[in-house]
Amino acid sequence: MATSYTARSRAIEPFHVMALLARANELQAAGHDVIHLEIGEPDFTTAAPIVAAGQAALAAGHTRYTAARGLPALRQAIARFYGQRHGLDLDPERILITPGGSGALLLASSLLVEPGKHWLLADPGYPCNRHFLRLVEASAQLVPVDAGSRYQLTPELVQRHWNADSVGALVASPANPTGTLLSRDELAALASTSRGLGGHLVVDEIYHGLTYGADAASVLEVDDSAFVLNSFSKYFGMTGWRLGWLVAPRDAVPHLEKLAQNLYISASSMAQHAALACFEPDTLALLEARRHEFGLRRDYLLPALRALGFGIDVEPEGAFYLYADISAFGGDAYAFCQHFIETEHVAFTPGLDFGRHRADRHVRFAYTQSLPRLREAVQRIERGLRSWAAR
């Protein structure tokens, strides 16, 4: 008898890049030198002070469940951080510690979106956002965006695509895969529009801290009723620790706490104790040095790819990605990515992982490798373009 699995499990798409990553890893295991520009993970290991704090927590026996909302000391540290970075007097009681930014998204989508309803999302955008909505029997209304809006939703787009099933909008600043920011005024306008339509605004601020030449505003500076997703994975470099947080309006916290108790009990206690070290001055100095290095990488790779013919119409101001149009070279983005893995052993991500709007004409490069490796990658890509043209 054939096993019957749920429609929701069938509807959630895999990461297409994972098949390419598996092939890249096969080539690497066979002795080839593969340059990985496909995965959105900092190449730096977790900073030593954070690791030491985690080791100390284990040695001290901090291995039990915490409260579902997380360690009070960590929530207080995050609130102080918002005060330092954004001038906000944020009540720690509004912060919930979650298993990664994904845990924050799970809580927000479970709380805010009824079955059959939807959020508006920019296309292209991070794929898990729409998949989490499907998991709670809701959906994503994908709104095509381009360089004209810096690949972000605008109040005009929200109003144009809003309908009876819309209950909110989810935006990201800085955004994955495009690296673009929403200014303070743009966030305020989106918040006003969402409220006027009777909906919620949810803002993914997971790449906050990783900006170059511009500081990212928090939506909490302009809208105290917004929901904010954040994570220790990107700026703080704690990807494998699986730790994030959600900031919510005060009246939502009891409902979110109840969901957290049932969905995951609590985030990792060891990771929470380790994360306390994130906000120490020495740790922040190290993280700022890493941000500077990412900026240098962007400033090298962006003009280098443009010189080769890749279309990058908008300069990214944050994250560590370049979203590039390959129309000048012809062909399909997935086949394009396969070609470079097989011929030049350079891995990057096809656009169809990020949505549907011109996805087969775009690829994403993650500048999560050192400058010497990026220079080597550009040389290989230049050579690979010649073989692609001659195929």
The 10s digit of each residue's pLDDT in 171-212 is 999 999 999 999 999 999 999 999 999 999 999 999 999 999
Contact 272, 74 (CB under 8 A): yes
Q: Please tell me the predicted confidence (pLDDT) of residue 19.
A: 83
From residue 10, how far is each of 20, 126, 313, 316 by CA, in Å?
21, 19, 35, 34
Q: What is the pLDDT of residues 65-106, one digit of tens each?
A: 999 999 999 999 999 999 999 999 999 999 999 999 999 999
Q: Please tell me the predicted confidence (pLDDT) of residue 13.
A: 85
- Whole-number Å distance between alpha carbons of 121 and 140: 6
All domains of the chain in start order, with CATH: 7-45+283-387 (3.90.1150.10), 48-279 (3.40.640.10)
Q: How much is the pTM?
A: 0.96
- Averaged pLDDT, 286-313: 98
Q: Which amino acid is present at 189?
A: A
- pLDDT band at residue 14 under the 50/70/90 scheme: confident
- pLDDT band at residue 17 under the 50/70/90 scheme: confident
Q: Please tell me the predicted confidence (pLDDT) of residue 112.
A: 98
Does residue 35 sit in helix, strand or coil? strand
- Averaged pLDDT, 152-178: 98
Selection from 252, 205, 262 nearest residue 68 by Cα: 262
- Averaged pLDDT, 159-177: 98
Contact 318, 207 (CB under 8 A): yes
Contact 347, 37 (CB under 8 A): yes
Q: Please tell me the predicted confidence (pLDDT) of residue 56.
A: 98
- pLDDT band at residue 1 under the 50/70/90 scheme: very low
State both tokens at 57: 């927590």
Selection from 209, 215, 265, 268 nearest residue 234 by Cα: 209
- pLDDT band at residue 131 under the 50/70/90 scheme: very high
Q: Please tell me the predicted confidence (pLDDT) of residue 101.
A: 96
Q: What is the pLDDT of residues 215-265, one digit of tens each?
A: 999 999 999 999 999 999 999 999 999 999 999 999 999 999 999 999 999
- Averaged pLDDT, 334-358: 95
- Whole-number Å distance between alpha carbons of 47 and 208: 17
Contact 164, 310 (CB under 8 A): no
Q: With 90 as the cut, is the pLDDT of residue 365 above it?
A: yes
C-alpha count within 13 angstroms, C-beta hemisphere, residue 132: 20
Q: With 90 as the cut, is the pLDDT of residue 285 above it?
A: yes
Q: Please tell me the predicted confidence (pLDDT) of residue 82.
A: 98
Q: What percent of the chain shows pLDDT beyond 70?
A: 99
* Beta strand residue intervals within 32-133, DSSP E: 35-36, 95-98, 118-123
Does residue 337 sit in helix, strand or coil? helix
Return all residues near 282 (Cβ < 8 A) that are at least 6 apart: 49
Contact 286, 133 (CB under 8 A): no
Does residue 201 sit in helix, strand or coil? strand
As a whole number, the mean pLDDT across the chain is 96
Selection from 256, 191, 181, 192 nearest residue 219 by Cα: 191
End-to-end CA distance of the chain: 46
Contact 269, 57 (CB under 8 A): yes
Q: Please tell me the predicted confidence (pLDDT) of residue 391.
A: 87
Burial per residue of 180-191, b for 16 or more beta-carbon CB atoms within 10 angstroms, e otherwise: bbbebebbbbbb
Long-range contacts of 336-340 (CB under 8 A, 24+ apart): 336/363, 336/388, 337/17, 337/20, 337/363, 338/20, 338/23, 339/384, 339/387, 339/388, 339/391, 340/380, 340/381, 340/384, 340/388
- Averaged pLDDT, 304-329: 97
CB neighbour class for 296 (10 Å; exposed up to 12, middle 13-18, buried from 19): middle
Q: Please tell me the predicted confidence (pLDDT) of residue 276.
A: 98
- Whole-number Å distance between alpha carbons of 75 and 70: 7
- pLDDT band at residue 15 under the 50/70/90 scheme: confident
- Averaged pLDDT, 360-381: 97
Q: With 80 as the cut, is the pLDDT of residue 371 above it?
A: yes
